[in-house]
Structure 1
Amino acid sequence: MEYAKLGRSGMRVSRLCLGTMNFGVDTEEREAFRILDAALDAGIQFIDTANGYGGEKSGLTEEILGRWFRQGGGRREKTVLATKVYGYMRDPLDGPNREAGLSAYKIRRHLEGSLRRLGTDHVELYIMHHVDRSVLWDEIWEAFEAARLQGKIGYVGSSNFAGWDLAVAQGEAKARGSMGIVAEQHKYNLLCRLPELEVLPAAQGLGIGVTVWAPLDAGLLGGNALKPGVGVRGAAQRERIEQVRGQLLAFSRFCAELGEREDTVALAWLLHQPAVTAPILGARTLEQFERSLRALEVKLAPDALAKLDEIFPGPGGEAPRAYAW
């Protein structure tokens, strides 16, 4: 396993992160435990979850992780744990504050709930699951600073932030003498390269690591999208497949030339991007997880990277060079 510092923090994390969104929904608890144990065995100590994961039972995924930690064997001590705050938790006790957001009330209350479900007294990384432009940064940073001083969180992360959101957040943090955000979790893959315009350059410039959700774009880059009868697809996904069918066919042919699976190449490509700290593996089964590890071994030559750029053109570089003279 390879490791890298998370942004400008001093904490090292595995170059692959285990995502847990399927646990308790598409993945039963016993299989989730097998995947978690296999991740630690493979050297993946970076585990990502969220308070809202669990389908109709918000918090279920955190509860599963808590039961896994309670098995002992150093599971919690070996883990760099990330969870999130922002969403609606279906908790009637939240009253008028039940709506999604980042108020100090919600940050404090929902952090306590996450720690209780996870069976731990702290998380290494506490992530804002979405930006909330209706709340002052003074309020947000004060809440995170209090949690850090209490030893309940180690670092603060963000998710789904625009480049200018990252810049504003870091400016406000610096004014308070705070470290600010150390990691941004963002959708980025061969089919979704818009972050190259603003978000990735901003993150690199501000010393923010990037973890990637949807690295296979909901399975489109996994090799099965063009196979009839594989999986249950809604109308929107079928339409999306038709829109990119030509690219997926070219990608499949190229991966065959390389002698690698499509999902392996898609993950390996992300590991070659300088801004990316770790793709998040959203495996539903142990087999899927174990297959993902191959991405660490694949080194893409410059001509292979150029061919992928040809199949999946990016936005043309960073802004404003991508669209201005």
Structure 2
Amino acid sequence: MPQTHIRFDWAIKKLLRNKANYVVLAGFLSELLGKQIKIQSILESESNRQAEDDKLNRVDILAENDQGELILVEVQNSTEQDYFHRMLYGTAKLITEFLEKGEPYSKVKKVYSVNIVYFSLGQGDDYIYQGKLDFHGLHLKDKLKPSINQKKLFNIKKVSEIFPEYYVIKVNNFNDVAKDTLDEWIYFLKKSQIKEEFTAQGLAEAKANLLVDSLSEEERANYLRYMENRRYEVSIIEGSRSEGRLEGIEEGIKQGLEEGIKQGKQQGLEQGKQQEKVNIARTFKHKGIDIETIAEATGLTRTEIEEL
């Protein structure tokens, strides 16, 4: 059985900021983005400064590659309804934060937002989603492209290369079957295990450097405490959800009973009125009153009266 390694969120907080471990993060990003990534530096911004009292449900790391592009990797453990909005805010903040005052807009940095989530975000059954911006014609259905001069000036082929690019990895949707090297990374993110046959970039270094047993006594104690706090937090959240579901069921039953009684009374009144019409029609019919008159007086149809 493969050895258990350090969870990726803990590695982000404590280990991957070390230059010696850049290769691990670069390997993951290379597999995900489909191009070779070389981490130039780990940056600090207002959004990703780490502190001892950081919330357990979120950790992030901001890297700059050798092309000057910014890559924000965020791990989110607990449900957050406005998470999509926060993804947008995070990229917008980075764009403005890293554009010096007075610089032209052409100096805006390309931003990649990589979001590793351990909760059910939105509706979708896949486990990796990519989001990028393109402009499509409303009438001719063509795609807006950069001009020849823009391609040369900004070294781009598509307009989407300028705008932020988003990746959402819904770890819990992964079926544990690694079909390619990117899947090997998703397997690691979900299981904290690296199989012998895995060959994805960065995993060999992760296997060597991210073992729990390789931590110092103090680091191991901190890691185990972190994991215990994570389990406690998950337990609290799940308990709250269960309690909420039970309260919802009880409230639903109560409302259902009240609604049922109300509907029952209404149905009883309607049935009583209908029976009264039938009784009147039957009496009129026995007295020899014509069907048209009975129908006009009671509101019953000719067929209903004939069947009495």
Asked if Structure 1 and Structure 2 have the same fold, meaning a TM-score greater than 0.5 normalized by the shorter chain, the answer is no
Larger Rg: 2
What's the TM-score bracket when you normalise by the shorter of the two chains? 0.3 to 0.5
Structure 1 or 2: more helix by fraction = 2
